[in-house]
């Protein structure tokens, strides 16, 4: 038992150390590739290609920054990585048979997309909590949003704001208008199913809702957060 305990302790210490080092590296370095990119590439057809172009947050339209916050996590600037109210709301809505929704914050989605694989096992959820805690502790809110906007899936083989802007609107992430930013944000719940341009009636409805949230959000700044 002592030997097993020592091995488990060593494994735990190595895991903690390596995960902290990994998160610290990505505090400064661009994220070149993610597990989801690899999974989509492996499962895709021979014609599948991954489009991903890292851009610093200053080169990503403020319209898109605010649009994803309004659509995905309106309490982003105030929570510590977990939004208990959103989780409870998602739980009760799902129990009542309404449209299935998640309660994941932008921080949780960033942790999942950058460091982990897709799935709903207890192991993956536990690791998601751990990495969310790490990035909220070691990164700024600005850095979390920067990594999020450069890493999440925004279409079939489309990852990050620059690739999405090029693909959906033939423009750059820096030049996205409010309408275009709302279009990209509207498809995030299922970017493989929905199209930002041309958009369906459902996506147009989501776009209108997101643009109303943009108007009501108030002053927006990520500096020093």
158-195 pLDDT tens trace = 999 999 999 999 999 999 999 999 999 999 999 999 99
Quick one: pLDDT band at residue 1, thresholds 50, 70, 90?
confident
Residues facing 159 on adjacent strands: 52, 153
Indicate the pairing of strand 153-155 with strand 51-52: unpaired
Looking at every residue in the chain, the average pLDDT score rounds to 89
Cβ(35)–Cβ(127) under 8 Å?
A: no
Which residues lie closer than 8 Å to 56 by C-beta, 6 or more apart? 146
Task: Give me Rg for the CA atoms of the chain.
Answer: 18
Q: Check residue 118 and give its pLDDT.
A: 82
Summarize pLDDT for 194-204 with one digit per residue, the tens: 999 999 999 99
Task: Measure the CA–CA gap between 68 and 72, rounded to whole angstroms.
Answer: 6
pTM, 2 dp: 0.89
Which residues lie closer than 8 Å to 77 by C-beta, 6 or more apart? 69, 141, 222, 225
Quick one: pLDDT band at residue 4, thresholds 50, 70, 90?
confident
Residues facing 207 on adjacent strands: none
How would you label 51-73 residue by residue, b for 16+ Cβ within 10 Å and e otherwise?
bbebbebeebbbbbbbbbbbbbb
Q: How many CB atoms lie within 10 A of CB 1?
A: 5
Q: Which of 2-11, 139-148, 178-187 has the lowest mean pLDDT?
A: 2-11
Quick one: pLDDT band at residue 100, thresholds 50, 70, 90?
very low
Indicate the pairing of strand 153-155 with strand 158-159: antiparallel
State how far the alpha carbon of 136 is from the alpha carbons of 76, 122, 183, 199, 222, in Å.
Answer: 11, 21, 28, 34, 14
Task: Measure the CA–CA gap between 32 and 26, rounded to whole angstroms.
Answer: 10
Domains of the chain: 52-216 (1.10.3810.10)
Q: Give percent helix, percent strand, percent coil of the chain, each to the nearest 5.
A: 60, 5, 35
């Amino acid at each position: 038992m002592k030997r097993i305990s020592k091995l488990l302790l060593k494994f735990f210490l190595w895991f903690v150390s390596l995960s902290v080092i990994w998160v610290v590296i990505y505090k400064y370095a661009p994220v070149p590739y993610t597990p989801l990119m690899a999974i989509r590439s492996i499962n895709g057809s021979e014609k599948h290609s991954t489009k991903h172009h890292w851009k610093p947050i200053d080169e990503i339209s403020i319209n898109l920054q605010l649009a994803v916050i309004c659509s995905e996590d309106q309490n982003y600037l105030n929570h510590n990585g977990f939004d208990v109210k959103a989780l409870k709301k998602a739980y009760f809505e799902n129990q009542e048979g309404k449209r299935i929704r998640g309660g994941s914050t932008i921080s949780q989605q960033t942790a999942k997309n950058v460091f982990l694989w897709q799935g709903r096992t207890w192991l993956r959820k536990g690791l998601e909590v751990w990495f969310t805690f790490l990035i909220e502790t070691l990164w700024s809110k600005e850095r979390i949003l920067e990594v999020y906007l450069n890493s999440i899936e925004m279409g079939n083989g489309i990852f990050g704001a620059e690739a999405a802007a090029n693909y959906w609107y033939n423009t750059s992430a820096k030049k996205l208008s409010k309408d275009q930013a709302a279009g990209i944000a509207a498809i995030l719940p299922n970017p493989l199913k929905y199209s930002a341009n041309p958009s369906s009636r459902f996506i147009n409805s989501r776009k209108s809702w997101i643009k109303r949230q943009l108007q009501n959000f108030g002053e927006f700044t990520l500096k020093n957060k």
